[in-house]
Amino acid sequence: MNGRRRVLFFVAIAAIYVLPGMLPGRILVPADVPRDLLAWKNGSTERVRVSNSLLSDVPTQNIAWDIEARRHLANGDVPWRNEFAADGEQLFANPITALLSPFTWPRLLLGLPGWSWSILLKLLVSMFSMWWLARVAGANDLAATVSAIVYALAGFFVVWALWQHTNVYPLLPALAAASITLAREPSPKRALMLALIAAFATAGGHPESLLVTVVAIAIFLFLNRDVTPRVAGAALGGFLALGVQLVPFAIVFLQSHVRHSRSEMLGFRFHKLSLVAQLLPGFLGSPLRGELDLTGAFPSAENFHQRNGAYIGAIALIAIALAWRSLAPPFRRALAIAAVTWLLTLYVPGLTHVLRAIPIVGLIAPEYFAVPAVLFAALAAGPALIEVMSGITRRRLGIAIIIIGAMLVIGGALPAVAPNALTRVARAGISRLQQRGALHQPPAVYEQRLAYYLDAAKWTAARRIAIPGLCFVAFGIALTMRAGATRTRLAIAALTAELIAFGAGFNPSIRVDEIAPEPPMIAEVKRLDPARRWLIAAPSEVFPPNLGTIYSVRDVHAYDILTSEAYTRKLLPAGYDPKRWAFPLEPTPDQLHYLSTLGVRYWLSPNGIVEMKDAIPPPAPSNAPPEGITLGLFVSAIGVALAAYVAIVSRTRPV
């Protein structure tokens, strides 16, 4: 495949995901999610179907931060802080705002329409980045293309496409590839390229996934004898170039509440359902509008993100299992790293406790080990699939996979062809969930919703079971064929279709008129307090923190993992739960009075606004630079100087 055809092919795959959000009158971000909160609804029994109910963090964090950053930039200011959240929520010093990442810039430039361009950019960089790494590692062009498809369409990218996690993710294969090329053929250009990639990966804004994957990449380089002082120096220079943000972040982190509570927030529950999700990721449905999410039917089940973060497709896994012995050493080493890191994602008892005891590593959520697991599994998946398709006919295995696929197709079609049986199963399931305490509304409410559940079940079964089954059938047929171009194309098509069926639409396109409007309670607060002198507070079920930023209303707290320990303790007497960033749904009179002493005049309750007229207006937070910014600039200068030094000496002598 020549360069032009590869570009067109990658763009076509990316378009499947982003084009719906680029159509006139549509956006590719779930800005409708707040509509299902009490501030927008007429009562707790009303259910508003939103585009993806699991993506609530996007409006309460990312959209809010973007809006505040855009406001500062429009005024000619540096977006140091969010003046509408808590005591001045950190923006620049909080890396997960990702203000320095090129993947964030389309959103800062275009607003909500920029999300489509951001995801498009991330998809394309992911594919070209992995293609480069696979080629450097020894794969041929076709195998490298397959690896690129698997990496870009894998579970981790899909479920985190709207978060900062996937600002880091696309650049990680390039980080490894640039390290290998610099180690083997040193030059100033290659040294500067590695430093630049390291800097942009750091700017991505998710230190946890970056840290675990950099360590995994270092191990991979060491095993392949591609580690040199030159590589370490150039990469370190790139990481340190972001010192202007990293140093203030370190100071903020040391002062944050999460520093003390992170281990309590993570837990130790074994993720057993992730084992099934590696082969059939939609077996419990999804939180998309029009589908069912059956997570609540299983006690202590991990959510869709946690279950499917390490998913690379059942077809890719089968190919890896068949070909791993015949793969070249770099790909076998990659698979060893992938297997170990995937095991760490499962919260295995004992192993997870050991991780918790390691400094810094103990603060990392184990599900982020999915990043190196996907990185190295995808790297080997392309060569493995091409190896299998170039080899012997596997008739028995192919027939077995065809039978399994056919059974999935039949099972996925059953809800549509046997509606009466589906109704009985649905009523029995609702009854069991009510007995278990997972459903809290009166039975009549769920009976009214039954028609929706039945329609959603039919579509969920078709998409999450029948369509993957068809892909398995196609792959099984390919296995029964003789080696040749047709066999290889059929297998690649089956693998690609399986991944697209999993991920397309999970990050939903919505109409512009579906964007959550300003709720009546907020409009009333603005009428009562046009100068924004006082603060609001609300339980998360009514109006979560940071949504006030979207509507330019000051909130007493923030939905931010870096909220300081001092400010968190200040909120505790009001019944504040720092694990949920939430106030109680029904606070006591004493708790409301305490909030008034903090400057809260308007409490947004499920029944309307409670005004506390004895509240004293608090001082407005200033958009002041974070502590440590000067030291951070000095560290950045050191990083740039180190990268420049490595580039200079790479021209003449080893370092």
With a cut of 90, say whether residue 634 has pLDDT above it.
yes
Considering the chain, what percentage of its residues have pLDDT values greater than 70?
A: 94
Output the pLDDT for position 366.
87
Q: Is 477 contained in some domain? A: no
Among the residue ranges 1-10, 211-220, 275-284, 358-367, the one predicted with the least confidence is 358-367
Domain limits for position 452: 401-468
Model confidence at 267, in pLDDT bands (50, 70, 90)? low
The more confidently predicted of residues 653 and 35 is: 35
Residues 318 and 434 in one domain: no
Instruction: For residues 225 and 463, give the distance between their C-alpha atoms in angstroms, rounded to a whole number.
Output: 45
Provide the mean pLDDT of the chain: 92
Q: What's the rounded mean pLDDT across residues 5-9?
A: 92
Tokens in use for 334?
């990659």
Distance CA 185, CA 110 (A): 40
Do 458 and 497 fall within a single domain? no
Per the domain annotation, does 73 fall within a domain? no
- The most confident of the ranges 212-221, 414-423, 430-439, 452-461 is 212-221
- Report yes or no on 529 lying in a domain: no
User: What does the alpha-carbon distance between residue 10 and residue 97 come to, in Å, rounded to a whole number?
Assistant: 28
User: Is 207 among the domain residues?
Assistant: yes
| Domain co-membership, 494 together with 407 | no
Question: Would you mind telling me the total number of residues written for the chain in this entry?
Answer: 655
Q: Report whether pLDDT(447) > 90.
A: no
Would you say 300 and 269 are in contact if contact means Cβ atoms under 8 Å apart?
yes
Is pLDDT at 654 greater than 60 in this prediction?
A: no
Amino acid at 290: G
Question: Residue 535's beta-bridge partner residues?
Answer: 600
The model's pLDDT over 390-434, given as tens digits with 9 standing for 90+, comes to 999 999 999 999 999 999 999 999 888 777 766 776 667 667 666
Q: What is the identity of the amino acid at 66?
A: D
* 320-345 pLDDT per residue, tens: 999 999 999 999 999 999 999 999 99
Q: Is residue 458 included in any domain, yes or no?
A: yes
CB 353 within 8 A of CB 362: no
Residues 306 and 238 in one domain: yes
Task: Mark whether 376 and 407 lie in a shared domain.
Answer: no
Please report the pLDDT score of residue 262 as a whole number: 63
Question: What is the DSSP pairing of strand 26-27 with strand 510-511?
Answer: antiparallel
pLDDT at 653 over 60: no
The model's pLDDT over 44-94, given as tens digits with 9 standing for 90+, comes to 778 899 999 999 999 999 999 999 999 999 999 999 999 999 999 999 999
Mean pLDDT, residues 3-27: 94
**Is residue 156, in this structure, part of any structural domain at all?**
yes
Query: Do 386 and 408 have their domain in common?
Result: no
- What is the rounded average pLDDT of the residues 600-629? 94
What is d(CA 293, CA 138) in angstroms, rounded to the nearest whole number? 41
Q: What is the pLDDT of residue 439?
A: 64
- Name residues whose C-beta falls within 8 Å of residue 556's C-beta, 6 or more positions apart in sequence: 86, 535, 536, 537, 571, 595, 598, 599, 600
DSSP sequence for 372-431: HHHHHHHHHHHHHHHHHHTS---HHHHHHHHHHHHHHHHHHHHHHH-HHHHHHHHHHHHH
- pLDDT at position 263 is 58
Tell me, yes or no, whether 129 lies in a domain: yes
Looking at the structure, tell me whether residues 371 and 411 fall in a common domain. no
Q: Check if the beta carbon of residue 536 is closer than 8 Å to that of residue 552.
A: no
CA distance 329 to 495: 24
Q: Flag whether pLDDT at 108 surpasses 90.
A: yes
Residues 436 and 380 in one domain: no
Is residue 582 over pLDDT 70?
Answer: yes
Task: Identify the band that residue 528 occupies on the pLDDT scale cut at 50, 70 and 90.
Answer: very high
Q: Which of 50-59, 261-270, 532-541, 558-567 has the lowest mean pLDDT?
A: 261-270
- Which residues are bridge partners to 536 per DSSP? 555, 602
Q: How many other C-beta atoms are found inside a 10 Å radius of the C-beta of residue 298?
A: 12
Contacts of residue 119, defined as CB under 8 A and 6 or more positions apart, other chains included, come to 17, 18, 21, 28, 161, 162, 507
Minimum mean pLDDT among 167-176, 302-311, 591-600, 646-655: which range? 646-655
DSSP readout, 296-324? GGSTT---HHHHHTT---HHHHHHHHHHG
φ, ψ of residue 219 to 5 degrees: the values are -65, -45
State the Cα–Cα distance between residues 106 and 119, nearest whole angstrom: 10
The CA dihedral of 645, 650, 654, 655, to the nearest 10 degrees, is: 20
In a domain, residue 651? The reply is: no
pLDDT at position 42, please? 84
Total domain count for the chain? 2
- Pair (455, 488) in one structural domain: no
Q: Looking at the structure, do residues 164 and 241 belong to the same domain, yes or no?
A: yes
Q: Judge if 216 and 353 occupy the same domain.
A: yes
Q: With contact defined as beta carbons under 8 Å apart, do 97 and 163 qualify?
A: no
Residues 324 and 247 in one domain: yes
Distance, CA of 101 to CA of 91 (rounded, Å): 13
Work out the pLDDT band at 438, boundaries 50, 70, 90.
Answer: low
